[in-house]
Amino acid sequence: MVVNGTLAAGITTLRQPLEPPFGFNGTQPKMSYFLYQSDGRQACANLLLDQRGASGRPGKRSSIPTPPDMPKMSREVVFDQGTNGPSRNFVYDMEVYRFFVRDDWEEVFAADVDGRPTLGSIDAIEDAQLAGREIKIAIRDLCSDLGRGPSHEVFSSLGSGFFHAGMRLYDALTHPILRVAPAAPLEYRSFGWDVAWVHVRTDGAAVMRILDPYTRRFSDRPARFAFRWFAR
């Protein structure tokens, strides 16, 4: 995720808690959505996956002091403890904190929210798919409904994709995306994040399948976005 063209953040979307080198950290299955920002700030939200009932309600904020045995950990600001979607914001002094990127991605097509091309053509998408190239997408202002904030782009790899030769249309499904209310810096807070799979089309149309972290219920929401399409 890139916020306002100045702040970059990466979020783990496939991780469960680990205790290296022994295995999983605890017996309760849950997702660990760690957020790492280019200014060194960190955060983690959890989505509990088992059938244990929630003991709390979302909306509670509290603070946890630095643990005596973890002097590199800052004071943590935590939200929604006891719910199915607790989260915390912190800084852990890792001493070395680096981002690695690949510079072989090529932007092959872009269109505005109404599907009007602003770069490249749909032919480039077709060529990329036929060549077996990996495709990813940048979605403009995907998280705006979670809270008022700066403009942003969310980047995601794409899974299943379909090119419709007669319609000259390409559609695909993103990998799971952690949506976070746009801000600089980013932080998890009550009702400020969720999980989504997004069906995207080159004409700007989209459907978000959103998972509420507190109720663990899904809902579908149609939308339109400006997209940028990349291949490598």
Residue 71 belongs to a domain: yes
Residue 216 belongs to a domain: yes
- The model's confidence at residue 95, banded by pLDDT at 50, 70 and 90, is confident
If asked whether residues 72 and 110 sit together in one domain, one would say: no
Residue 25 belongs to a domain: yes
Concatenating the DSSP letter of every residue in 8-49 gives EEEE-SS---EETTTEESSSS-EEEEEEEETTS-EEEEEEE-
The pLDDT score that the predictor gives to residue 97 is 83
Strand 106-111 relative to strand 117-120: parallel, antiparallel, unpaired?
Answer: antiparallel
The pLDDT score that the predictor gives to residue 10 is 96
Residue 226 belongs to a domain: yes
The pLDDT score that the predictor gives to residue 212 is 98
Residue 95 belongs to a domain: no
If asked whether residues 63 and 115 sit together in one domain, one would say: no
If asked whether residues 135 and 195 sit together in one domain, one would say: yes
Pick from 36, 55, 90: which residue ends a domain? 90
Residue 97 belongs to a domain: no
Residue 100 belongs to a domain: no
If asked whether residues 82 and 161 sit together in one domain, one would say: no
If asked whether residues 111 and 194 sit together in one domain, one would say: yes
C-alpha to C-alpha distance for 156 and 142, rounded to whole angstroms: 11
Report pLDDT digits (tens) over 108-136.
999 999 999 999 999 999 999 999 999 99
Residues 39-58 have a mean pLDDT of: 93
Residue 184 belongs to a domain: yes
Residues 12-28 have a mean pLDDT of: 94
Report pLDDT digits (tens) over 168-185.
999 999 999 999 999 999
The pLDDT score that the predictor gives to residue 144 is 98
Domain count, the chain: 2
If asked whether residues 129 and 52 sit together in one domain, one would say: no
C-alpha to C-alpha distance for 11 and 126, rounded to whole angstroms: 29
If asked whether residues 161 and 192 sit together in one domain, one would say: yes
The pLDDT score that the predictor gives to residue 94 is 86
If asked whether residues 85 and 147 sit together in one domain, one would say: no
Report pLDDT digits (tens) over 177-226.
999 999 999 999 999 999 999 999 999 999 999 999 999 999 999 999 99
Pick from 65, 90, 115: which residue ends a domain? 90
If asked whether residues 78 and 178 sit together in one domain, one would say: no
Report pLDDT digits (tens) over 49-76.
998 889 999 999 999 998 888 888 899 9
CB 209, CB 75: distance < 8 Å: no
CB 138, CB 227: distance < 8 Å: yes
pLDDT of residue 30 exceeding 90, the answer is: yes
Half-sphere exposure of 213 (CA within 13 A, CB side): 33
The pLDDT score that the predictor gives to residue 215 is 97
pTM comes to 0.94
If asked whether residues 124 and 42 sit together in one domain, one would say: no
If asked whether residues 85 and 110 sit together in one domain, one would say: no
Range of the domain at 59: 2-90
If asked whether residues 110 and 189 sit together in one domain, one would say: yes
- What single-letter amino acid sits at 201? R
